[in-house]
Amino acid sequence: MELRQLEYLVAVAEEANFTRAAQRVHISQSGISAQVRELERDLGAPLIDRSARAARLTDAGAAALPHARAALAAAAALRQAVSEVSGLIRGRLVVGMVTACTVPGLFESLALFHGAHPGVAVTLAEDESAALVERVRSGTADLALIGAAGAPPPDLESLTVVSERLAAAAAPGHPLLAGRAAVTLADLAGHPVVCLPEGTGIRATLDAACAAAGVRLDVTLEASAPGTVADLAARGLGVAVLSESMAAAHSARLHAVPVSDAALPAVLALVWKPGPGPAAREFLRCCRQAFPAGNQAAVARG
């Protein structure tokens, strides 16, 4: 008994015709008929009733058909498993990362993956969160660490690394923050604001909160990295809006409080398309090892 004979039996059963079955499996009609007869001799029973115009299964053929399909499926799964391992050994992985990201868990994941699979070429690409999401959707990146407002895009699978509130930060003694445990968006509206640019998760979170509250902020300065935003605010050029962990990283120079009515959290998450390839699946396994449960302190351009 050979796998090709089982394939031919399934084709004849589904097409109910030797000619169409032969065309489907790219073999001559005489060839498929001979192979099915050989299978029948091997099993000791006729599988196809050839007495009518249509080729019909005999009782023995009907009993054999599900097992033939199962054997073919198992063989296909075996080939796929070997192919995936081979692909992982020789493959390529493209990981996107928000610009100015310094999340130790991501770098630890890359190190774990490289140590386990040194034959896979890894490319790390930095960009804005919005651009990285499009790269994942288009397939030019396998996974990406992005910032988002409230939740990652629903059409992608995700692993949330950080979910935290927005914070307003300014130099000690700034009149907006003096004696306050929190501020509102309306409070911020009376002061120049320093923030990350559009296309980042932090800015998307801030803009969504302002739209919901009907508040318009005066964003006078934008910078491409949280450290630069913090530095500008520390020099008195405005009130910085960052995530809580970003602001906390600069606590020596800035006083920070939560923005109480910014309901959506700022989220940092890994995203990927459903059905990732073997290299991406293995990298995700490394990520789940490297990222501890719950929120991670992170300084990233979201």
- Tell me the domains of the chain and their CATH numbers: 3-88 (1.10.10.10), 91-163+267-290 (3.40.190.10), 166-264 (3.40.190.10)
Instruction: Return the closest-CA partner of residue 233 out of 266, 255, 206.
Output: 255
Tens of pLDDT, residue by residue, the chain (302 residues): 899 999 999 999 999 999 999 998 889 999 999 999 999 999 999 999 998 888 999 999 999 999 999 999 898 888 777 766 666 666 789 999 988 777 788 999 999 999 988 888 899 988 889 899 999 999 989 999 998 988 899 999 999 988 889 999 999 989 998 888 999 999 999 899 999 998 888 999 999 999 999 999 999 999 988 899 999 999 999 999 999 988 998 999 999 999 999 988 989 899 999 988 888 998 999 999 888 654 443 334 44
Rounded Cα distance, 268 and 171, in Å: 26
